[in-house]
Amino acid sequence: MAFCFEAVTSLSRCLRFTTSLPRLQVSHARSIQSEPAELPLSPPSTSESMYNFVVVGGGSGGLALASNLSRKYGKGQVAVVEPSDEHFYQPLWTLVGGGQKKKEQSRKLMKDVMPGACDWIKDKAVKFDPENNSLTTAEGKTVQYNYLVVAMGMQLNFDKLKGLVEALEHDPQVCCNYSYHTVDKTFQAMQNFKSGNAIFTFPNTPVKCAGAPQKIMYLAEEYFRENDKRDGANVMYFSPLGAIFSAPKYAAVMNRICKERGIQVNLKHNLVEIKPDTREAVFANLNTDPNELITVPYAMLHVPPPMGPPDILKASPLAGPSGFLSVSKDTGQHTKYPNVFGIGDCTDFPTSKTAAAIAGQSGILLKTINAVVSGLTPYAKYNGYTSCPLVTGRRSCVLAEFDYTLEPLETFPVDQSVERRTAYHMKADLLPTMYWNGLIKGIWHGPGMFRKLLHLGFSK
């Protein structure tokens, strides 16, 4: 069968890579002189260090690649530049906001998840100099590399929405699942809610997990129903986009669910200001005139902040026109610097930004990096696989999986657009385990192989 052939071919390629010499052949890489295996293994001084591989960011994508690369190339070859003491499993925050999980379950200490064979440079990258294969950290260290992996995630720009910071600080009814520090306000706001407008918004920027702004709405609506608050609640969704979800198959289901559950969907409406003093949300009506503002009172307001690429990435030669890391959508290799690679939310892969996408990207990235290190042309091709478990209640979920074409790429041989309890348990109980023990350890590269098996080799 096709998948068996693929597995044997990729295994033989891997075996070839493990024995091949890692040499980079690129004209711009002026400072690369020797075989990476002969490089100094530890920093020669406190202000300067040199590694074969440097990974910027110890989040989902950074750790997935750092684990793999350090396993393959050995101790001291890989450094991870990461300032944070903590690592978060962000997909759990939907369920924390919904009151099903505790936020502490989403957090581990960075020292406990950092791969043992990596050197952790506990500092922030502040400047990239890809012409000289180096970066500078906030403490003024220069870190040189042969190969760079950028995995810095998205920057949350709370201050770019008028009134949001103030509202999150002072109004208990304004909440946000997008940060560990604000996520526990969401369930409290649901509990405090008595009656009125419960408003859920979508930002007018790129977003990580584009389903998260509406998942929490379904959990809240169910909570109101089960706690005798639904009659007085007007549940409203506002999005600047023209559709409730990008992939049409799942958009149709979500529209139907909203209709059946009496949720008012307002597309092409952009939240421009929050007035916590008077508990009002101000929207620009993109359907007619963006200057036409509509003011809606709220009794609960969930707001994902504006998001974008990290400022230092945007200001660097590594950024593409959107400000995100410019990579080949097939291989994850940088479009200008062949020894630079990217994974996850900070890249311009034209797919939905999720941890599931990172799983799919990680397998491709490893093949790409191994090919480049071996002086070969990258051959692996990412299909844009991404997934969004659209939680619709405490016992139900629509497991959306799709690719660059926005066509379904479903793992299981059933119609996944049907709400299922099994999909909910997968999201709540199985995926966290797969994340901590598989994805960030670099051993889970997405469900592609299972999909082919379960579809008897006939899936894409």
Report, as residue numbers or ranges, the catalytic residues.
209, 388
357 Cβ contact list (under 8 Å, min separation 6):
344, 349, 351, 384, 385, 386, 387
Beta bridge partners of 87: 108
Q: CA-CA distance, 29 to 328, in Å (whole number)? A: 19
Q: Which residues have C-beta within 8 Å of that of residue 189, sequence separation ≥ 6?
A: 172, 173, 174, 175, 300, 302
**The token pair that represents 91 in the structure block:** 């997909």
By beta-carbon proximity to ligand FAD, the closer residue of 64 and 372 is 64
Beta carbon of residue 150, minimum distance to ligand FAD (angstroms, whole number): 9
Give the H/E segment covering residue 380.
none
Query: Smaller CB distance to ligand FAD: residue 371 or 439?
Result: 439
- Considering only residues 41 to 70 of the shown chain, the ones binding ligand FAD according to CB under 6 A are 56-62
251, 427 Cβ separation under 8 angstroms: no
Among residues 17, 51, 93, 202, which is the contact residue for ligand FAD, using CB under 6 A?
Answer: 93
Minimum gap (Å) between residue 403 Cβ and ligand FAD: 14
Rounded Cα gap, residues 393 and 214, in angstroms: 11
* H-type alpha helices, 52-104: 60-73, 93-97
From the list 195-203, 218-226, 354-362, 393-401, the region that binds ligand FAD by CB under 6 A is 354-362
CA distances from 22 to 16, 217, 289, 339 (A): 12, 50, 57, 12
184 binds ligand FAD (CB under 6 A): no
Three-class SS state of 129? strand
Residues 6+ apart with CB under 8 A from 96: 102, 103, 105, 106, 177, 183, 184, 186, 187
| Collapsed DSSP state (helix, strand, coil) of residue 323 | coil
Query: For residue 376, what are its two tokens?
Result: 């070969």
Q: Strand, helix or coil at 216?
A: helix
Part in contact with ligand FAD (CB under 6 A); list of ranges 245-253, 254-262, 278-286, 387-395: 387-395
End-to-end CA gap in the chain: 13
Total residues interacting with ligand FAD, rule: CB under 6 A: 38
| Chain centre to alpha carbon of residue 342 | 13
Between residues 73 and 93, which has the closer beta carbon with respect to ligand FAD? 93
Of residues 276 and 447, the one with the C-beta less far from ligand FAD: 447
Is residue 178 close enough to count as binding ligand FAD by CB under 6 A?
A: yes
- Among residues 312, 397, 399, 423, which is the contact residue for ligand FAD, using CB under 6 A? 312
Residue 203 or residue 378: which is nearer to ligand FAD going by CB?
203
Nearest to ligand FAD of 3, 402 (CB atom):
402
323 binds ligand FAD per the rule CB under 6 A = no
Confirm or reject binding of residue 355 to ligand FAD (CB under 6 A). Answer: yes
311 φ/ψ angles, rounded to the nearest 5 degrees: -55, -40
- Span near ligand FAD by CB under 6 A; candidates 14-22, 28-36, 45-53, 91-99: 91-99
Side chain identity at residue 296, one-letter code: V
Shortest CB 310 distance to ligand FAD, Å: 5
CA 171 – CA 5 distance, rounded (Å) = 58
Q: With respect to ligand FAD, which residue has the nearer C-beta, 296 or 417? A: 417
Residues 214-253 close enough to bind ligand FAD by CB under 6 A: none
CB of 79 closer than 8 Å to CB of 119: yes
Binding mask 191-210 for ligand FAD (x = CB under 6 A): -----------------xx-
Does residue number 125 form part of the binding site for ligand FAD (CB under 6 A)?
yes
**437 by DSSP, 3-state: which?**
helix
Which of 146, 177, 333, 392 lies at the binding interface for ligand FAD (CB under 6 A)?
Answer: 177
Of the candidates 49, 52, 67, 94, which one interacts with ligand FAD according to CB under 6 A? Answer: 94
Q: Which of 36, 53, 54, 82 binds ligand FAD (CB under 6 A)?
A: 82
Q: Report d(CA 358, CA 12) in Å as an integer.
A: 24
Q: Is 151 in the site for ligand FAD (CB under 6 A)?
A: yes
From 124, 230, 261, 455, residue interacting with ligand FAD (rule: CB under 6 A): 124
Amino acid at 235: V
Asked if residue 423 binds ligand FAD (CB under 6 A), the reply is no
Note whether 439 binds ligand FAD by CB under 6 A: no
Which residues in this chain contact ligand FAD in the complex, by CB under 6 A? 56-62, 81-84, 90-91, 93-94, 124-125, 151-153, 177-178, 208-209, 212, 310, 312, 344-346, 353-356, 358, 387-389
